[in-house]
Amino acid sequence: MTNAFENMDRMYRFQRYFYDLTRKYYLLGRDRLLNELDIRKDECVVEVGCGTGRNLIILARQNPEAHFYGLDASAAMLETAKAKIAAAGLPNVTLKTALADDFSFDKTFGLTVTFDKIFFSYSISMIPAWRKSLENALKNLKSDGELFIVDFYDMKYLPAWFQKLLQAWLKRFHVEHPQKLIPLLRNLEAQGMGKLEIITLYRRYSFIAAFRKNN
Ligand SMILES: C[S@@+](CC[C@H](N)C(=O)[O-])C[C@H]1O[C@@H](n2cnc3c(N)ncnc32)[C@H](O)[C@@H]1O
């Protein structure tokens, strides 16, 4: 993980210029997730792996009285995000370069309280330290806070040839659904740590997980 900053910058240095245009066709379920967040006045919400800021810009426009934070391993992606946020004139978004498994509400963002909501949008599938990142997110969440994830799922109900092709293509970019992710969330629910809801989309092309903490 020590080279995660460099790896992400290398991957996105040029892609960031056409990222939003191309990803809208295959990062499916992002807008559904944004609706599920149900953000209230004064809430603090952070996106882990926010990329070009596409999701934060939509949310910040819709919820001018809430506070949005974004972190990403790629400083290059955040440069693009910062320019877009400035152009949109949104004062309620703060961005920091940081790693998913290492950020904290106080050290990274200078906050005095943990987050109301934390979400990962198509980032957890490209984070080798996904388990540690999930634990870190839960640590940075209020005792009744909510964690959301939208990402590629196992594609189980898509035609086998398409599933194979797509998964092989995603692997080339180091993107893979962590098979133990949903069982881990179910286990946390079984331990009484929260309530889990899973929505599957487009024949399990993608999923949305909502974990509502209760301790
Ligand atoms: C596929 S993009 C998704 C961007 C955005 N969330 C969206 O929905 O458009 C994944 C992002 O995760 C970031 N990322 C990858 N590994 C990371 C890590 N370990 N910590 C923080 N961000 C990371 C990448 O730099 C990239 O910007």
pLDDT given for residue 1 in this prediction:
44
CA of 122 to the centre of ligand 1 (A): 7
Residue with tokens 């939208």: 150
Rounded average pLDDT per 10-residue block, the chain, 215 residues: 77 74 80 96 98 97 98 96 97 98 98 98 97 98 98 95 93 93 98 97 97 90
The C-alpha R_g of the chain, in whole angstroms, comes to: 16
Instruction: Answer yes or no: is the C-beta of 121 below 6 A from any ligand 1 atom.
Output: yes
pLDDT given for residue 20 in this prediction:
72
Tokens for 209, please give them: 């997980």
Instruction: Answer yes or no: is the C-beta of 72 below 6 A from any ligand 1 atom.
Output: yes
C-alpha to C-alpha distance for 152 and 50, rounded to whole angstroms? 16
pLDDT given for residue 194 in this prediction:
97
Instruction: Answer yes or no: is the C-beta of 4 below 6 A from any ligand 1 atom.
Output: yes
Single pTM value for the model: 0.94
CA of 101 to the centre of ligand 1 (A): 12
Instruction: Answer yes or no: is the C-beta of 39 below 6 A from any ligand 1 atom.
Output: no
Sign of the dihedral defined by the CA atoms of residues 67, 145, 133, 35, in that order: negative
Which is the CATH superfamily of the domain at 4-213?
A: Vaccinia Virus protein VP39 (3.40.50.150)
C-beta separation of 97 from 124 below 8 A: no
pLDDT given for residue 7 in this prediction:
83
pLDDT given for residue 21 in this prediction:
67
The closest of 147, 212, 213, 155 to 179, measured between CA atoms, is 155
For residue 77, the ligand 1 atom closest to its alpha carbon is 27
Instruction: Answer yes or no: is the C-beta of 127 below 6 A from any ligand 1 atom.
Output: yes
Instruction: Answer yes or no: is the C-beta of 123 below 6 A from any ligand 1 atom.
Output: yes
Instruction: Answer yes or no: is the C-beta of 50 below 6 A from any ligand 1 atom.
Output: yes
Tokens for 176, please give them: 């893979």
pLDDT given for residue 11 in this prediction:
80
C-alpha to C-alpha distance for 176 and 153, rounded to whole angstroms? 9
Instruction: Answer yes or no: is the C-beta of 54 below 6 A from any ligand 1 atom.
Output: yes
For residue 74, the ligand 1 atom closest to its alpha carbon is 25
Domains in the chain: boundaries: 4-213
CA of 164 to the centre of ligand 1 (A): 23
Instruction: Answer yes or no: is the C-beta of 55 below 6 A from any ligand 1 atom.
Output: yes
SS (H, E, C) the chain: CCCHHHHHHHHHCCHHHCHHHHHCCCCCCHHHHHHHCCCCCCCEEEEECCCCCHHHHHHHHHCCCCEEEEEECCHHHHHHHHHHHHHHCCCCEEEEECCCCCCCCCCCCCCCCCEEEEEEECCHHHCCCHHHHHHHHHHCEEEEEEEEEEEECCCCCCCHHHHHHHHHHHHHCCCCCCCCHHHHHHHHHHCCCEEEEEEEECCCCEEEEEEEECC
CA of 120 to the centre of ligand 1 (A): 8
